[in-house]
Amino acid sequence: MLLDPGLDLTLRPMRYPQFYEMYRAAIRNTWTVEEVDFGTDTADLQTKMSDADRHLIQRLVAFFATGDSIVANNLVLNLYEHVNAPEARMYLSRQLYEEALHVQFYLTLLDTYVPDPDERAKAFAAVENIPSIRAKAQFAMKWLDSARELGPLHTKEQRRKFLLNLVCFASCIEGLFFFGAFAYVYFLRSRGLLHGLAGGTNWVFRDESAHMAFAFEVVKVAREEEPDLFDASLAERIGQMIDEAVACETLFAEDLLSGGVAGLSVRDMRTYLEFVADQRFIQLGLPVRYHAKNPFGFMEQQDVQELANFFERRVSAYQIGVTGEVSLDSAF
Ligand SMILES: [Fe+2]
Ligand SMILES: [Fe+2]
């Protein structure tokens, strides 16, 4: 079984070809930070944005400064050990590379947006010093640390605790904290601002959607192989965890929007987070909890080009006639 302890090496016969296909799909979606053009972002920050907008961006950058490193650490320290199939570990290796790419992207963003070295250092210290970011980091660390103490997954309860870590990182951190962050980016883009950040975010968004799809597939396989793992206590603990994540991210919204950003309210942000959280319950095969509708039209439509793979994207950049829009909702 997938969660049996060990370091399985057998690729033929392959037990989980879906993980291998996810690995291959990820390879086709390779992008580089050097392709992101931050050319107009600096001028936007200096001349087109209010102090309240700049506060929002400053906090967002501070979250991004460490967010993907925390995810990468959990991949190496917990997921890689316990998801015991070589084809799944190939996917995790690829995901680790993508997380490094995200770290590089956000580092480049920070270097571009925050020229002052002391301010940059403060962004990295935000996990300690800024309460709304500290709360999110502590939430992540709690789950990261508790999984590190598990050892080999011999018992059902150990496996449930591991699944809670997996669900936390997929549903709450990649699937809620990052999705919340992307909403601010797309809100600013809807006002014609920060196209460099939005361009790179399109690719990070696609990567995170794939990371979640992998994690949910692991959950699905584990559930099929060991239905008794999914008892009422696990569902209850997942519900509490996601409630806690929504609360953390709402605290972050209150901080980001504290200057009063026209067109974006904490209330709408909270509804959006509940809508996203409901999608995670659906992906986990659990009943929805909040029954929230997406209040953000700007999150529903993305350019069709951004969903194309790397080579198609390269070609389409030189073509005219690539038009139309596609809903990203169906992809996550
Ligand atoms: Fe990431
Ligand atoms: Fe990720």
The pLDDT tens digits for 46-95 are: 999 999 999 999 999 999 999 999 999 999 999 999 999 999 999 999 99
Q: Which domains does the chain have, with CATH numbers?
A: 51-299 (1.10.620.20)
In the prediction, which pLDDT does 19 show?
A: 98
How much distance in Å is there from the Cα of 250 to the middle of ligand 2? 21
Per-residue pLDDT tens over the stretch 204-257: 999 999 999 999 999 999 999 999 999 999 999 999 999 999 999 999 999 999
What ligand has the least distance to the C-alpha of 75? Answer: 2
64 alpha carbon, closest ligand: 1
pLDDT attached to residue 238:
98
% pLDDT > 90, the chain: 90
Is residue 311 over pLDDT 90? no
Please tell me the distance between residue 105's alpha carbon and the centre of ligand 2 in angstroms: 13
**What is the CA(50)–ligand 2 centre distance, in A?**
31
Residue 161 CB contacts under 8 Å (≥ 6 apart), including other chains? 146, 147, 150
Give residues whose Cβ lies within 5 Å of ion ligand 2.
Answer: 174, 208, 211
What pLDDT is stored for residue 208 in this prediction? 97
Task: Report how far ligand 2's centroid is from the alpha carbon of 207 (Å).
Answer: 6
Residue 173 CA to ligand 2 center (angstroms) comes to: 8
Which ligand has the minimum distance to the alpha carbon of residue 175?
A: 2
Instruction: Find how far residue 240's CA is from the centre of its chain.
Output: 19
Q: Is residue 174 within 8 Å of 212, Cβ to Cβ? A: yes
Would you give the end-to-end CA distance of the chain in angstroms? 27
Contact 218, 88 (CB under 8 A): yes
Mean pLDDT of the chain: 91
pLDDT of residue 301: 64
The CA 176 to ligand 1 mean position distance, Å, reads: 12
CA dist 317 to 41, 203, 308, 311, Å? 20, 15, 11, 10
Residue ranges of the alpha helices (H) in the chain? 17-28, 41-43, 51-74, 80-82, 86-113, 117-124, 126-129, 131-148, 156-167, 178-190, 195-225, 232-256, 266-283, 310-316
What amino acid occupies position 315? V
For ion ligand 1, residues whose CB falls within 5 Å: 68, 99, 102
Q: What is the pTM of this model?
A: 0.91
CA 92 to chain centre: 15
Round to whole Å and give the CA distance between 130 and 123.
9
pLDDT value for 300: 80
Task: Write the pLDDT tens digit of every residue in 179-195.
Answer: 999 999 999 999 999 99
Distance, in Å, from the CA atom of 176 to the CA atom of 278, rounded to the nearest integer, reads: 10
Rounded CA-CA distance 70/255 in Å is 21
For residue 106, indicate whether it is catalytic: yes
Q: Tokens standing for 111?
A: 């270097």
| pLDDT of 224 | 98
The share of the chain scoring above pLDDT 70, in percent, equals 90
Whether the pLDDT of residue 122 is over 90: the answer is: yes
Q: Active-site residue among 106, 113, 186, 272?
A: 106
The mean per-residue pLDDT over the stretch 120-146 comes to 96
Q: Which ligand is nearest to the CA of 174?
A: 2
